[in-house]
Structure 1
Amino acid sequence: MKDDKKSPILKEKVEETSGRRNFIKSAAAVGGTAILGAPFIGNAEAAKGQTWKIQTTWDAGTTGYTLFEKWCNGFQERTGGELKVKPFPAKSVAADNNALFEAVKTGVLQGMNPFTLYWAGKIPASVFLSSYPAGPDQPAQWDTMFYGLGMLKMAREIYAKQGLVYVGPIQHDANIIHSKKPVNSLADFKGLKLRVPGGMVSEVFQSFGASTVSLPGSDIFPALEKGTIDAADYVGPAVNWDLGFGQVTKYILFGPPGVMSIYQPVDLMDLTVNQRAWNRLSPSLQALVEEQVKAYSLEHYVSIQGRNVEALDKFKKSGSTVSRLSVEDVAEFRRKAIPIWYKWANKDADAKRVFKLQLDYMLNDVMGYVNPNDIKGQKFN
């Protein structure tokens, strides 16, 4: 008689594999459970594996790129070989931001890790998917809007129109300003040649008399060195030290005590992927990638903050002087920023929809950042 029973060893292996698979599927369905080191076991077809090429806006050799590279290189192990992610630094495949956007849309690259604000010209709503002048200024507030108030769903609907999937936000840092001459108040921006990322940030500084220009991170050092610009906003101390800003500037500007930046206090990055590449993943693997982005967001943020403390000491020891804006400067900055909020919200229906969610949050007493008098006279189209 034929014996259909499996051997004890084979039975044990089948149960072990099935148990691990069921555990990971359950973990991926629960927010925050699938941590960075978790393995993923899929079906035999998926186990053949896929490879994603993802370019970041971090320059090679910086703290930001080191963290990104480590995260990408761990995907093969974490997915049991189902997904391999090959990281690329800034300009290595796509030469600039416009080329990067198109490379992901067309599938030359499967994904990108940009600063979300870079797409202000292509997707007006993107200015509200990362912090903006005098808006929500705490990382937890942005996570609340994305994951608690429905902003992630909005972002995905907006990006889907471009053939892209906005997988999720990645917390990074606040932006600070390095200058060749002292800047101690908003009045000191008058006549200053300043590098900023564009969008609302540029317009607010222009309202204080600054002459603004948009440059990628890798072009800031030579522009400061040659005197093409007097000052530059970029990210926080850790990466800016890596880029050599201490060699070509002597002054650093922060917000008031406890606030690194009032113009871009939560400079969000994200993971965006090509829609076709995303659709080739199984639902379970999609869920795992989403959870990995959440986990990486936390790891990236706290790692950068820790290194900021060390880097700022290096700046000061090398001769840099730190100045801070006053509380009065913050109030004046918000007064100039609010009409510009509405100007950008009125650019299209998507921008208005996202901003309206944020405005309701800022008006709510939970935050209390804005009151009805602050927005009196402002209207949506």
Structure 2
Amino acid sequence: MKLKALLTSAAVTAALAVPAFAETTLRIQTHYGPETISGKNAAQFVDDVQVMSNGEIKIEMFYSSSVVASVETFDAAVNGILDCDMTGGAYQTGKNPAFQFVGDIMGGYDTPYQQLGWLYKGGGMEAAQKLYNQYGMELIGWWVVGQEALSSSKPLDSLEAFKGWKFRSPPGLETKIFEKLGASPIVMDFTEVFTSLESGIIEGADASILANNKGMGLYDIVKHATYPGFHSMPSDHLACNKTVWDAMPENQKRIMTTAMQKLALQQALTAEYENNKAAAELKAAGVTLWNLSTEDRAAFRAAAVSTWPEFATTDEAKALVAAHTEYLKSQGMAN
């Protein structure tokens, strides 16, 4: 009986020593629809976090910017309407141009792995974190889909072909870079692209990766594309309200950051798979894919890097440009 009592007492003591179950519920918004490549990968991220945390972390994911507009997601997380923002830093360039250099580092990198290398190995996380913390947010990680493809009604076989080329461009840094190359970027809403291509107002468009462009039907209208891409590789982020993040136990933080790194790998692998599949189908359908030479790619990067300082008008932006430039030099990718 004494032994039984001792064992019972030890079991009670051990049970009391176990920390209380800490449950965290996160409301996260993404601009992607659940049926897209990115939306499906985001759903897998949610499942990974909930399973690895054994239910300690519960995530309520809002797809297709269903709570607030995409550009308002960051502020909604800051103000407590949401807990985390799973869109991208490029939406916040109006706050600070520094967000350009964590949102879309135009011309900087050829592959998602290089860009993730800057974040995780080149001091990028530390440099970016200062920017996010300044606005009451914590950067948890990136997921990079890969280089976007330009669609065109004429061949894009070299940088020379871009002279006079009229195409739909997003506002900001991209217009500056392509203007230096002699192109004629026209800023317009994406909803106007199809009619503008059909009527000849523009000759091409910067929209998305090759697989997405194909899915949207762009190559039913124009028959040329750049692939692999070279000009734009947006980084989507997961950024959370810093107060919410700081209150989470360390084990939950580790689960979130680890799951983000898995998401980054899956996003890059999935996009590469889908892009190569789309490339084969487009070639068979008579669409010509243009792969710029190594020399032309280097020339575009040089034009982009030389334009970065023109857009980096704040101390935070200058710091990020310096971090990217030093990393590119360390990798032999820039002079």
Q: What TM-score do you get using the length of structure 1 for normalisation?
A: 0.76
Residue aligning to 2:8: 6
CA distance in 1, matches of 2:63, 2:47: 13
Could you say which residue in structure 1 is the equivalent of 2:143? Answer: 170
Structure 1 position 154, deviation (Å): 1.7
Q: Distance in 2 between matches of 1:193 and 1:55?
A: 34
Aligned to 2:242: 275
Give the aligned residue type for 1:107: G
Q: What letter is aligned with 1:326?
A: S
How many Å apart are 1:289 and its aligned residue? Answer: 0.7
Partner of 2:334: 370
Counterpart check, 1:340 vs 2:304: no
1:277 to partner: Cα distance: 2.7
Tell me the residue number matched to 1:53.
27
Task: State yes or no: 1:182 paired with 2:143.
Answer: no
Structure 2: how far apart are the matches of 1:331 and 1:74? 39
1:147 aligns with 2:124: no
Higher RCO by CA contacts (8 Å cutoff, separation 6 or greater): 2
Q: Does 1:261 align with 2:229?
A: yes
The residue type paired with residue 200 of structure 1 is L
Which amino acid in 1 is paired with 2:45?
W
Q: Which amino acid aligns with 1:291?
A: T
CA distance, structure 2, for counterparts of residue 163 and residue 341 of structure 1: 26
Q: Residues 309 and 339 from structure 1, CA distance in 2 versus in 1: closer, same or farther, beyond 3 angstroms?
A: closer
Counterpart in 2 of 1:123? 96
**Alpha-carbon spacing, 1:92–1:195, altered in 2? closer, same or farther (3 Å):** farther
Distance change (3 Å), C-alpha of 1:193 and 1:60: farther
Question: Could you tell me how far 1:226 is from its partner in structure 2?
Answer: 6.7
Corresponding residue of 1:30: none
In structure 1, the partner of 2:204 is: 231
Measured in 2, the distance between the counterparts of 1:117 and 1:318 equals 34
2:76 to 77, 96, 103: 103
Inter-partner Cα distance in structure 2 for 1:164 and 1:228: 41
Within the candidate set 236, 240, 247, 2:213 is matched to 240
Structure number with the higher helix fraction is 2
| Corresponding position: 1:291 with 2:265 | no
Q: Alignment partner for residue 70 of structure 1, among 44, 68, 71?
A: 44
Distance in 2 (CA, whole Å) between partners of 1:164 and 1:182 is 44
Secondary structure of 1:76's counterpart equals helix
Aligned pair in 2 of structure 1 residues 89, 282: CA closer, same or farther (>3 Å)?
A: same
Report the equivalent of 2:319: 353
Residue of structure 2 aligned with 1:159, choices 113, 132, 148: 132
Provide, for residues 204-232 of structure 1, a one-character-per-residue CA deviation record: whole Å limited to 9, x for no partner. Answer: 1122232231546x775566567664322
Matched, 1:304 2:277: no
Is 1:90 equivalent to 2:56 in the alignment? Answer: no
* CA distance in 1: counterparts of 2:206 and 2:320, whole angstroms: 25
Aligned partners of 2:103 and 2:95: how far apart in 1? 15
| Superposition pairs of residues 209-220 of structure 1, within 5 angstroms | 209-213=183-187, 215=189
Q: State the 1:159 CA deviation.
A: 0.8
Matched letter for residue 161 of structure 1: Q
Q: Percent identity?
A: 26
Unaligned residue ranges in structure 2 (runs of 5+): none
What's the CA shift for 1:352?
A: 1.3
Contact 2:302–2:334 (CA<8 Å) still a contact in 1?
Answer: no
Counterpart amino acid of residue 178 in structure 2: F
